[in-house]
Amino acid sequence: MAETPTLFEITPSSESWHTRRRVGFDLETTSRDPRVARIVSAALVIFDDAEGSTGAETGVEGSPGAGSQRVRTREWLVDPGVEIPAETTAIHGISTEYAQANGQPAAEAVAQITTALAQEFAAGSSVVVMNAPYDFTVLQQEALRHGVEFTEPVGVIDPLVIDKQVDKYRRGKRTLSQMCLHYEVELDAAHSATPDAWAAVEVACAQAERFPQLQIPAPELHRLQAGWKVGQAADLQEYLRRTRSDAEVSPAWPV
């Protein structure tokens, strides 16, 4: 594997991902473990100047950076087919009873979500996902459960991996809420899929503005993040093994 260049060896490009179509993606689920978690809600938040939309989309005016544009959202409320634990309901506010009464069947929703993402990957969109391995692993496992095709993610932008690379030694948590504070991004209704997806795009764009070396095409940044994640996982594993010799941290990214 070729050595991954350091951040400041990267030359900004006029074809930067942050000036093109950007799609925020987020899931709310039943568990912190992505291997067993079921989807309870999902959102795509689309930033571009394109007219028209498909599916259950709504549009509002907004700005994920410089300039104003139309922002379109697509949302899913899902009946996961299992009980939603009280501790996760406390986070996202969706109870088992509410999901059963108002949500789509899981198989139908998972098929729609994977199709929508596959279309964005094929179109060359930048898909912004905070802590991408969690959401994509959840979706991959749901696709397997319901016999739905899962398309390998491409053009993914993960603000968490980027933040750990550009500001490695900053103290404190790196939750989406904390990163919004750090990058001066407004976050309303945290732990709801649409606000979280929207905020993730704004954080990623703020990172690109603060660190111009991130202003490169999405496929190139995707490849770099995969390499950065390997190093980050190795550092965390080394730290954890000071107290637990068998600790293992997966270097896989984005899924």
Note the pLDDT tens digit of each residue in 8-30: 678 888 899 999 999 999 999 99
The string of pLDDT tens digits covering residues 115-147 is 999 999 999 999 999 999 999 999 999 999 999
Domains of the chain by start residue, with CATH: 17-63+74-240 (3.30.420.10)
CB 131 within 8 A of CB 158: yes
The string of pLDDT tens digits covering residues 87-120 is 999 999 999 999 999 999 999 999 999 999 999 9
The string of pLDDT tens digits covering residues 200-231 is 999 999 999 999 999 999 999 999 999 999 99
The pLDDT value given to residue 52: 40
User: For 65-82, what is the mean pLDDT?
Assistant: 83
Strand 39-47, strand 57-62: pairing: unpaired
